[in-house]
Structure 1
Amino acid sequence: MANEIRKEYTNGEITVVWKPGKCIHAGNCVKTLPEVYKPKEKPWIRPEMATSEALKNQIEKCPSGALAFYENAK
């Protein structure tokens, strides 16, 4: 989809990409890293609250593929 909504949040090292249209609200992100994912706040993703490695591990377990990441250029 060319018009797919996509939001990005960065901690400086990596950028977390969230595609709300794919999200099935399984809650794995909130359960795994509650200090990062706070659905009732804005912004709801705060990647600076975890290590890049912890974020990558959690994102790889997203069942819907709504979360992804890319490494920022150095």
Structure 2
Amino acid sequence: METHEYKTGEITILWKPKLCIHAGVCVKSLPKVYNPKERPWIKPENATTEELKEQLMKCPSGALSYKTNS
């Protein structure tokens, strides 16, 4: 399945567009990170790693997830 990666020093956000149900939880939770009108639409540098992890666990479809960078 197609997966897009958006990296910071500590975390990589994984986005699987085919799983996305466009519930908008990400945009409502962290609008400085997620802006569908911009490219790239995910800017993980605009939040802390903990803020990102907390939001990513709330994605209802599982389209957004993360891995830690080692």
TM-score interval for Structure 1 and Structure 2 normalised by the shorter chain: over 0.9
Instruction: Specify every segment of 5 or more residues in structure 1 that has no aligned partner in the other structure, as ranges.
Output: none
Structure-1-length-normalised TM-score: 0.93
Choose 1 or 2 for highest CA Rg: 1
Structure-2-length-normalised TM-score: 0.98
What's the secondary structure of 1:36's corresponding residue? coil
- Aligned-CA RMSD value: 0.4
Instruction: Specify every segment of 5 or more residues in structure 2 that has no aligned partner in the other structure, as ranges.
Output: none
Match of 1:36 in 2: 33
User: 1:61 is matched with which residue: 55, 58, 61?
Assistant: 58
Runs of 4+ in 1 over 3 A off after TM superposition: none
Residue type of the partner of 2:35?
K
Length, aligned pairs only: 70
How far residue 24 of structure 1 moved from its aligned partner, in angstroms, is 0.1
**Fraction of identical pairs, as percent:** 61
